[in-house]
Chain A
Amino acid sequence: MERLRRYGFVAGFLVVPVALYSVFVISPYIQAFQLSLTSWNGYSSVVRYVGLDNFGRLLEDEVFWRALRNHGLLLLVLPIVTIVIALFLSFLLNLGGGTRGAGMKGVWGSTFYRVVYFFPQVLAVAVVGVLFQAVYRPDEDGVLNGVLGRFGVEPVGWLTEPGLALWSIMAVMVWQAVGFYVVLFSAGMAAIPRDYFEAAALDGAGRVRLFFSITLPLLRDTVQVGWIYLGIAAFDGFALILVLAGDKGEPDGATTILPVTIYKTAFAFNKVGYASAMGVALFFLTVTFAVLTLRTTRRERIEL
């Protein structure tokens, strides 16, 4: 009897969440894989299977390759720049203060900085996009061009110059992301025993030395997690690019990325099958990236 009641309770608690999750999350994912093998347009009642044709077409699709190239650039630049800035700032926050009684101190006001840095992280990406539209306006009315104009710099087409657009967008991504990694790395640094720093400082190690010989090696795992997160973010960037450059921008495909292309292919060009194939490609790219990163960066853990 008690057994039955228990099972009834367990089932009762699970049925709604499992049902919602299966219908709206899992079933679309499964359908995406299935649809990637069809030429479905989104409204006809006949779904025609075309095998791997969509994937063959992908390989010859110039837009797809351009999107991949842009992802490659994002994948290279976004994590490196974000992590370097975040490491630098969190090192200053945690150990940049004066040396007192051989103890290493964080700077005064570090809580304030942490709160400010993290704030862009809680802002909607769509809002950030609209905000930076104003910052990046190509004429002298743009905030950035207005400030630069004071120093006699001619207005720059931040989002309209093909060579510049993606970099401008990456700068916004870094702007938004750094705070999160400052918090992440600060937590990692707080876990390193103080005596390590104190012993090294007594032995005459400078701050730079402390950073490269103690902080960085002991922070390896955290940095790796950050790297994977940023790498996955490099495959996304949808809302930002759609708002910043999506409709009007995309100068010469300079900011074309897969998610935006998928969205347009499915909902503007009604090629749902083909868009799903792109989604599947994106899925495998993301997974491959995560696995490769884990493989290549795995090393003996340093036990504290």
Chain B
Amino acid sequence: MAARDIGRPRPSVLSGLSHMALAVWALLIIAPLAWTFLASFKTNTEIFGDPLQLPGALRLDAWGRAWDKAHIGQYMLNTVIVVFFGTAGTMVFGSMAAYVLARYRFIGNKLIYYYFVAGLAFPVFLALGPLFFVVKQVGLLNSHLGLVLVYIAYSLPFTVFFLAAFFRTLPDAVAEAALIDGASHTRTFFQIMVPMAKPGLISITIFNVLGQWNQYLLPLVLLAGDPDKWVLTQGIARISTLAGYEADWPGLFAALSMTILPVMIVYIIFQRQIQSGLGTGALK
């Protein structure tokens, strides 16, 4: 490139090529998802005909079947319950622990902090067998409460790690003023610090909602015995086997679409927080 060219827009051959490469990857992402969505309106014959064909009519019956017969409605409700209490518990206990670890000096502070953060380094598989027996021993196998407690416990390391860093950045003056005015430590936390930490709390809440919503391994082990209590990911994996026997492929794709859509909506609304939250997690 000669120096005199600078300052003028270049004929954008390169820019065009860039767009091509970028668009190809975008297509690779969108195509299977769009295909799934379309397949939920198709008939079996249409699904297994030409994959590029559009559905002949807008049929919604597969969505109804997936919701009732394949219990997606039930699984969805189970998942919402477990994720709601799991995330709420994670946020309450995680932020409490992170707050005192970040802002109070006491004996064993560092030790407890590293005790939590160490949990980030262990592969879940190592604990799988024993975890099953721990949950069985406390009598919470095949119960949503058991799963909620386990979700909270396994979400704590990252939550504490992330929020402790966040609480450390908050200014001291406000909390000190509140304490001098006679507010208790607990009140200072809930009425002053939590509102101040809102951006951090939101990021990590979304992170935990997605993580728990998508969890497959823990429910597979801890809820195996009671299909009525299953969560979505288990249900989907099971339907994919069933669909083969019953030849109800549109039902399967309707079930998949139903699982994907809420995540997609949450993602589009919060994509900025999600990307930055996950990014911070990677750069720890």
Sample of 6 A–B contacts (CB below 8 Å): A92-B22, A109-B19, A124-B263, A127-B260, A206-B1, A238-B125
Decide if the interface of chain B is mainly helix, strand, loop or mixed.
helix
Q: Which residues of B contact A196 (CB under 8 A)?
A: none
Q: Which of A101, A119, A206 contacts B267 (CB 8 A)?
A: A119
Cβ-based interface call for B57 (8 A):
no
B61-69, B89-97, B169-177, B197-205: which lies at the A interface? B89-97
For the complex formed, measure the closest distance between the CB of A188 and the CB atoms of chain B, giving whole angstroms: 9
Instruction: Judge whether B52 and A147 touch: CB under 8 Å.
Output: yes
Known: A10-B104, A113-B22. A279 touches B129 (CB 8 A): yes
Docked pose: A29 CA to B282 CA in angstroms: 23
For the complex formed, measure the closest distance between the CB of A89 and the CB atoms of chain B, giving whole angstroms: 6
Cβ-based interface call for B134 (8 A):
yes
Q: Which 8 A-B pairs have the closest CB atoms?
A: A96-B18, A124-B214, A24-B153, A28-B127, A31-B130, A28-B130, A146-B51, A141-B48
Known: A14-B96, A266-B128. 14 other contacts (CB 8 A): A9-B186, A14-B100, A31-B133, A89-B22, A120-B29, A126-B233, A131-B33, A131-B36, A184-B282, A239-B216, A239-B233, A276-B126, A283-B123, A286-B123
Q: Which residues of B contact A283 (CB under 8 A)?
A: 122-123, 126
Cβ-based interface call for A293 (8 A):
no
Q: Which residues of A contact B93 (CB under 8 A)?
A: 16-17, 20
Q: Which residues of A contact B (CB under 8 A)?
A: 5-7, 9-10, 12-14, 16-18, 20-21, 23-29, 31-32, 35, 42, 85, 88-89, 92-93, 96-102, 107-109, 112-127, 129-135, 141, 143, 146-147, 175, 178-180, 183-184, 187, 201-202, 204, 206-207, 222, 225-226, 229, 232, 235-236, 238-239, 242-243, 247, 258-259, 262-263, 266-267, 272, 275-276, 279-280, 282-283, 286-287
Instruction: Judge whether A122 and B263 touch: CB under 8 Å.
Output: yes
Docked pose: A76 CA to B189 CA in angstroms: 48
Cβ-based interface call for B254 (8 A):
no
Docked pose: A180 CA to B97 CA in angstroms: 29
What's the interface size class on B, roughly? 35 or more
Instruction: Judge whether A89 and B21 touch: CB under 8 Å.
Output: yes
Decide if the interface of chain A is mainly helix, strand, loop or mixed.
helix
Instruction: Judge whether B36 and A118 touch: CB under 8 Å.
Output: no
Docked pose: A248 CA to B154 CA in angstroms: 31
Specify the chain B residue showing the minimal Cβ separation from A279: B126
Specify the chain B residue showing the minimal Cβ separation from A273: B129
Residue of B35, B185, B234, B252 most packed against chain A (CB within 10 A): B185
Tell me which residues from 128 to 154 in chain B have a Cβ below 8 Å from any Cβ of chain A: 128-135, 138, 149-150, 152-154
Q: Which residues of A contact B221 (CB under 8 A)?
A: 263, 267
Q: Which of B100, B121, B256, B271 contacts A131 (CB 8 A)?
A: B256
**What 1/0 mask marks residues of chain B from 1 to 43 whose CB sits below 8 Å from any chain A CB?**
1010011011010110011011001101110110110010000
Q: Which residues of B contact A32 (CB under 8 A)?
A: 126-127, 129-130
Docked pose: A280 CA to B130 CA in angstroms: 12
Docked pose: A25 CA to B126 CA in angstroms: 10
Known: A25-B153, A116-B30, A184-B282. A243 touches B237 (CB 8 A): yes
Docked pose: A180 CA to B279 CA in angstroms: 8
Cβ-based interface call for B181 (8 A):
no
Residue of A88, A98, A108 most packed against chain B (CB within 10 A): A98
Q: Which residues of A contact B54 (CB under 8 A)?
A: none
**What 1/0 mask marks residues of chain B from 177 to 214 whose CB sits below 8 Å from any chain A CB?**
00000001110010000000000000000000010011
For the complex formed, measure the closest distance between the CB of A67 and the CB atoms of chain B, giving whole angstroms: 12
Instruction: Judge whether B153 and A23 touch: CB under 8 Å.
Output: yes
For the complex formed, measure the closest distance between the CB of B183 and the CB atoms of chain A, giving whole angstroms: 12
Instruction: Judge whether A117 and B130 touch: CB under 8 Å.
Output: no
Q: Which residues of A contact B82 (CB under 8 A)?
A: none
Specify the chain B residue showing the minimal Cβ separation from A246: B237
Q: Which residues of B contact A5 (CB under 8 A)?
A: 184-185
Instruction: Judge whether B29 and A17 touch: CB under 8 Å.
Output: no
Q: Which residues of B contact A239 (CB under 8 A)?
A: 216-217, 233
Cβ-based interface call for B245 (8 A):
no
Instruction: Judge whether A28 and B131 touch: CB under 8 Å.
Output: yes
Docked pose: A106 CA to B197 CA in angstroms: 33
Instruction: Judge whether B100 and A9 touch: CB under 8 Å.
Output: yes
Instruction: Judge whether A187 and B279 touch: CB under 8 Å.
Output: yes
Cβ-based interface call for B226 (8 A):
no
For the complex formed, measure the closest distance between the CB of B124 and the CB atoms of chain A, giving whole angstroms: 9
Residue of B152, B213, B224 most packed against chain A (CB within 10 A): B152
Docked pose: A120 CA to B29 CA in angstroms: 7
Q: Which residues of A contact B278 (CB under 8 A)?
A: 121, 180, 183
Docked pose: A243 CA to B252 CA in angstroms: 14
Q: Which residues of B contact A180 (CB under 8 A)?
A: 278, 282
Cβ-based interface call for B268 (8 A):
yes
